Amino acid sequence: MVKHLKYILLLVLISSFSAWASPLSDARDAGLVIEVSDGYVRAQNNSSPRIQQLVVEINEKRRIAYSQIAARNGITVEQVGVESYRQRQAENPH
C-alpha cells in the first residue's frame, strides 16, 4: 500500500504544484522558504509579505491534496505529509 501511495502522491503533487514550482524553487534556493518534515513549507524569519502569501497558498494546496490522498488510502493526513517530505528529500536533497 505504501508503494501505491507513493505513486499516487507523486502524481497529485506534480499536477497540484506545477504552477508553483518556479516561485517555490526560487524562494527555497534564496533561503527564504524551507521544507518542513511534516510535508509543508515555512517562511524564514523576516520574509516579505509576498513570500508569506506564497507559503500560505502552497500549504493550502498541499493540505487539500494530502487530505484527498489520506481519505483514499485510509491513513492520516499527517502520514501523507511525512511521506511527501521524505520523497521530496530523496528526489532533491538541499
The band of 64, judged by pLDDT with boundaries at 50, 70 and 90, is very high
Whether the model pTM is above 0.85: no
Amino acid at 54: L
Per-residue pLDDT of 2-46, as tens digits, reads 666 665 665 555 555 555 568 998 999 999 999 999 999 999 998
